[in-house]
């Protein structure tokens, strides 16, 4: 779960994605000095470099003071001309106009990197089966390891279509032979536990709020578990997440009825976010190397000898417990990226 993909171009202020197609059509990334800064980071590929390289380069420009207002850089499409933008990128133009009040035919688009995709997820086999009998997963919530440490653009749709279909077929096939072993008591027990939690939260005083905790979680993950990671930041983030999990238990739900109860949705989403944040941080702290989308400034080199392996995280009352398993190497042994 420590392998989190950051998209290099999201609309500043909203984080709506600006497709890589904008750079594919010839868009320029420009800093406050007017430089196409990718020339320093990937001179042969420029704006068409891999997502992780372009995202790190862009964040460096911002961190080192070469961003506009210290927060964003420009994606410049003006040189493409009105006809090409209207023909090839009409959706991107509409997004920029609707959400930033900017017409890319006339002005550059302000962009910044944004968290985009998780390479990790629930471990499954190629048929979507998980270690928990009867539970199937496919898509971004699953990890079949088709993406390795750094997903290629477009492959998530392919994964969803292929492995989603396989999971559906396998589930349909298995359920026909498992009706006799079905245990409704397990579902009843889980339902009772959930309803007990509802009653407990509804009767709480509500010393804490979902909005406050979610905002603090967003800040710590962005600043300390983002594109660039280092041990001191990760340790600090880990402590903050533990604090937030403790405070989470003091949230109260004021709206009692379940129908259209947004408070409950926010509560349950935040609970999941805290668990996910903990696992990402623990995995990133333990992995003392840089690989794919995971970049440690204190361990900038890839280390196949010690870290060519999958991280497995297990939930315990004390927090995440990590284990590791070997990577299956088939026709293409992993090697360093070169251009």
Q: What's the pLDDT tens digit per position in 108-166?
A: 999 999 999 999 999 999 999 998 888 999 999 999 988 889 988 888 899 999 999 99
In the block, tokens 């990937």 appear at: 42
Of the chain, the end-to-end C-alpha distance in Å amounts to: 28
- Asked if domains 4-118 and 206-326 share a fold, the reply is no
Does residue 96 carry a pLDDT above 90? yes
How many residues belong to the chain?
339
**Higher model confidence: residue 121 or residue 181?**
121
Q: pLDDT grade, residue 180 (50/70/90)?
A: low
User: What distance lies between CA 53 and its chain's CA centroid?
Assistant: 16
Burial-class residue 290 by CB neighbours within 10 Å (0-12, 13-18, 19+). Answer: buried
**pLDDT value at residue 100:** 93
**pLDDT value at residue 324:** 95
Average pLDDT of 42-54?
90
Q: Is 294 one of the catalytic residues?
A: no
DSSP tag of 46: G
286, 311 contact by CB (below 8 A): yes
pTM for the predicted model, two decimal places:
0.87
The number of beta carbons lying within 10 Å of the beta carbon of residue 11 is 23
Structure tokens of 56? 């790190």
Nearest Cα residue to 279 out of 126, 129, 143? 143
Q: What are the backbone angles phi and psi of residue 73, rounded to the nearest 5°?
A: -125, 180
Does residue 267 carry a pLDDT above 60? yes
Q: pLDDT grade, residue 339 (50/70/90)?
A: low
**pLDDT value at residue 104:** 95
**pLDDT value at residue 204:** 64
Q: Which pLDDT tens digit goes with each residue over 187-246?
A: 788 888 888 877 777 766 678 888 899 999 999 999 999 999 999 999 999 999 999 999
Query: Any bridge partners for residue 115, and if so which?
Result: 6
What are the residues whose beta carbons fall under 8 Å from the beta carbon of 321, sequence distance 6 or more? 313, 314, 315
Catalytic pick among 7, 116, 291, 302: 7
The number of beta carbons lying within 10 Å of the beta carbon of residue 225 is 24
Structure tokens of 313? 């995280």
Q: pLDDT grade, residue 257 (50/70/90)?
A: confident
Structure tokens of 166? 């396989």
Q: pLDDT grade, residue 181 (50/70/90)?
A: low
Structure tokens of 215? 């905002």
Q: Select 206-326's CATH number: 1.10.8.60, 1.20.58.100, 2.60.40.420, 3.50.20.10.
A: 1.20.58.100
Burial-class residue 114 by CB neighbours within 10 Å (0-12, 13-18, 19+). Answer: buried
**pLDDT value at residue 337:** 77
The number of beta carbons lying within 10 Å of the beta carbon of residue 211 is 10
**pLDDT value at residue 26:** 94
Q: Which pLDDT tens digit goes with each residue over 112-125?
A: 999 999 999 999 99
Does residue 75 carry a pLDDT above 70? yes
Q: Is 7 one of the catalytic residues?
A: yes
Q: Kindly report the average pLDDT of the chain as a whole number.
A: 90
- The pLDDT > 90 percentage for the chain reads 67
Burial-class residue 277 by CB neighbours within 10 Å (0-12, 13-18, 19+). Answer: buried
d(CA 177, CA 180): 8
d(CA 109, CA 237): 32
Does residue 54 carry a pLDDT above 80? yes
In the chain, where the domains are located = 4-118, 124-175, 206-326
Structure tokens of 45? 């590929």
Nearest Cα residue to 322 out of 277, 292, 286? 286
d(CA 3, CA 51): 13
Burial 117-154, CB ≥16 within 10 A → b, else e? bbbbbbbbeebbbbeeeeebbbebebbbebbebbbebe
- CATH number, domain 4-118: 3.90.700.10
**pLDDT value at residue 123:** 94
């Amino acid at each position: 779960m420590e392998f989190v993909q950051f998209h290099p171009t999201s609309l500043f202020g909203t984080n709506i994605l600006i497709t890589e197609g904008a750079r594919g059509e010839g868009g320029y990334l420009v800093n406050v000095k007017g430089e196409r800064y990718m020339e320093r980071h990937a001179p042969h590929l420029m704006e068409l470099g891999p997502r992780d390289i372009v995202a790190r380069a862009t964040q460096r420009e911002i961190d080192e003071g070469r961003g506009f207002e210290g927060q964003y850089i420009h994606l410049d499409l003006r040189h493409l001309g009105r006809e090409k933008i209207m023909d090839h990128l009409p959706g991107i133009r509409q997004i920029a106009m609707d959400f930033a009040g900017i017409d890319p035919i006339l002005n550059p688009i302000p962009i910044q990197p944004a968290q985009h995709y998780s390479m990790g997820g629930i471990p499954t086999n190629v048929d979507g089966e998980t270690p928990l009998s009867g539970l199937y997963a496919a898509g971004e919530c699953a990890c079949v390891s088709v993406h390795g440490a750094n997903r290629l653009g477009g492959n998530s749709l392919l994964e969803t279509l292929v492995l989603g279909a396989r999971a559906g077929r396998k589930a349909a096939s298995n359920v026909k032979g498992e009706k006799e072993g079905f245990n409704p008591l397990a579902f009843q027990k889980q339902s009772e536990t959930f309803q007990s939690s509802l009653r407990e939260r509804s009767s709480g005083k509500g010393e804490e709020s979902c909005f406050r905790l979610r905002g603090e979680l967003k800040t710590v993950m962005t600043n300390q578990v983002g594109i660039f990671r280092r041990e001191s930041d990760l340790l600090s983030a880990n402590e903050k997440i533990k604090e937030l999990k403790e405070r989470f238990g003091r949230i109260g739900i004021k709206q009692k009825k379940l129908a259209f109860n947004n408070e409950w949705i926010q509560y349950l989403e935040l609970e999941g976010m805290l668990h996910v944040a903990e696992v990402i941080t623990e995995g990133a702290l333990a992995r003392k190397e840089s690989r794919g989308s995971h970049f440690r400034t204190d361990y900038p080199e890839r280390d196949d000898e010690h870290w060519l392996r999958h991280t497995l995280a297990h939930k315990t009352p004390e927090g995440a417990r990590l284990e590791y398993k070997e990577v299956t190497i088939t026709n293409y042994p992993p090697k360093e990226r070169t251009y």
